[in-house]
Amino acid sequence: MKDFFKPRRIVMIALALAVVVLCAIKLNWTWLPDYLDRVPLAIWRTVWLTVVTMILGMLLAIPLGLAQAVGPAYLAIPARIYCSIIRGTPLLLQLWLLYYGLGSVFAQFPEIRESFMWPILRQAWPYAVLALTLSVAGYEGEVMRGAFKGVPGGQLEAARAMGMPRFTIFRRIWLPQALHRVLPTIGGETVLQMKSTPLVATITVVDIYSLSKRVTQDTFVVYEPLLLLAVVYMIMAGLIVLLFRWFESRIPSRTA
Amino acid sequence: MLSPLSAASAFELLAWSPPGWGATLVYGLWNTIIIALGAYALGLLIGVAGAFGKLYGGPVTKDLLAVYTTLVRAVPELVLLLLITFAAKDAINAVLSSYGYAPIDFSGVVAGIVVLGVVQGAYSTEVLRGAILSVPAGQIEAGRAMGMSPVKIAQRITLPLMTSAAVPGLANLWLTCTKDTALLAVIGFLELTKQTSLAAGTTKSFLTFYLAAGALYLILSLVSGVLFGRIETWARRGQRNVEGGGI
Amino acid sequence: MKKIALVAAMALTFGSAALAEPLKIGIAAEPYPPFASPDAAGNWVGWEVDFINAVCAAGEMECVVTPVAWEGIIPSLTGGQIDAIMASMSITEERSKTIAFSDKYYNTPTVIVATKGAGMTADPAGMAGKIIGVQVSTVHEAYAQKHFTEAAEIKTYQTTDEGFQDLAAGRIDASQADSIAIDAFMATDAGKACCEVVGEVADDEAVLGLGVGVGLRQGEDELKAKFNAAIAKVIADGTYDSLSKPYFASSIYGG
Please report residues of B whose CB lies closer than 8 A to that of C17.
104-105
Residue B170, SS3? helix
Cis peptide before B4 (omega within 30 of 0): no
Distances in Å between the Cα of B226 and the Cα atoms of A78, B174, B238 are 20, 13, 20
Residue C150 Cα, gap to closest chain B Cα (Å): 30
Q: Which of C133, C26, C24 is CA-nearest to residue C69?
A: C26
Q: What is the DSSP string of A22-62?
A: HHHHHS--TTHHHHGGGHHHHHHHHHHHHHHHHHHHHHHHH
- Long-range contacts of range B61-70, CB-CB < 8 Å, 24 or more positions apart? B63/A8, B63/A9, B63/A12, B65/B125, B67/A12, B68/B122, B68/B125, B69/B122, B69/B123, B69/B125, B69/B126
Confidence band, pLDDT 50/70/90 cuts, at residue A225: confident
pLDDT of residue C18: 42
pLDDT digits (tens, 9 = 90+) for A96-135: 888 888 777 777 777 777 777 777 777 888 889 999 999 9
Which residues of C fall within a CB distance of 8 Å from B202? 31, 33, 37-39, 161
Provide the pLDDT for residue C147.
85
Show the CA angle centred on residue B90, arms to residues B85 and B93, nearest 5°.
Answer: 125
Q: Which of B21, B93, B187 sits opposite C80 (nearest CB)?
A: B93
Expressed in angstroms, the distance from the first to the final Cα of chain B is 30
Give the closest-approach CA distance of C162 to chain A in angstroms: 8
Distances (CA, A) of C56 to B30, C36, C59, C65, C81: 32, 17, 5, 11, 19
Evaluated on CA atoms C133, C139, C142, C145, the torsion sign reads: negative
pLDDT tens by residue, C142-154: 888 888 888 888 8
Name C74's Cβ contacts closer than 8 Å, sequence gap at least 6: A220, C85, C95, C98, C99, C215
Give the chain C residue whose CA is nearest to the CA of A124.
C171
- Of A160-174, B125-139, C18-32, C152-166, least confident by mean pLDDT is C18-32
- pLDDT tens for each residue of A179-218: 887 887 888 888 888 888 988 888 888 888 888 888 887 7
Q: Do C40 and B103 touch (CB under 8 A)?
A: no
Burial of A120 from C-beta contacts in 10 A (0-12 / 13-18 / 19+): exposed
**Residue among C75, C158, C171 minimizing CB distance to A103:** C171
- Give the ipTM: 0.77
- pLDDT score, position B121: 92
What confidence tens digit (pLDDT) does each residue in C36-84 have?
Answer: 888 877 788 888 899 899 888 888 888 888 888 887 788 888 877 788 9
- CB-based contact B179 A233, cutoff 8 Å: no
Q: Are the Cβ atoms of A123 and C171 closer than 8 angstroms?
A: yes
Q: Return the pLDDT at C19.
A: 42
Q: Identify which of B2, B75, B218 has the shortest CB distance to residue A230.
A: B75
CB contact under 8 A, A217 and C75: no
Name the phi and psi angles at A149, rounded to 5. -70, -25
Q: CB-CB: which of A106, A218, A220 is closest to C169?
A: A106
Give me the mean pLDDT over the C219-247 stretch: 87
Residues of chain C in contact with residue B109, where contact means CB-CB under 8 angstroms, are: 16
Predicted TM-score (pTM) of the model is 0.80
pLDDT tens digits, chain B, 247 residues: what are they?
444 445 567 777 777 776 678 888 888 899 899 899 999 999 999 999 998 888 888 888 888 898 888 888 888 888 888 887 777 777 777 777 777 766 666 666 777 888 889 989 998 898 888 888 878 889 889 999 999 998 898 888 888 888 877 887 888 889 889 888 888 887 777 888 888 888 887 777 788 888 889 999 999 999 998 998 888 888 877 765 544 433 3
CB contacts, 8 Å: B74 with chain A? 191, 233-234, 237-238
Closest CA–CA distance from residue B115 to any residue of chain A (Å): 15
Looking at residue A2, what is its pLDDT?
A: 65
Rounded Cα distance, C157 and C172, in Å: 11
Q: How far is Cα C223 from Cα C84, in angstroms, rounded to an integer?
A: 9
For chain B, the C-alpha Rg in angstroms (whole number) is: 22
Can you state the percent helix, strand and coil of chain A, rounding each to 5?
Answer: 85, 0, 15
Q: Pick left, alpha or beta for residue C54 (phi over 0 → left; psi -120 to 50 → alpha; otherwise beta).
A: alpha
Residues of B in contact with A108 (CB under 8 A): 1-2
Give the Cα separation of A218 and C156 in Å (integer).
13
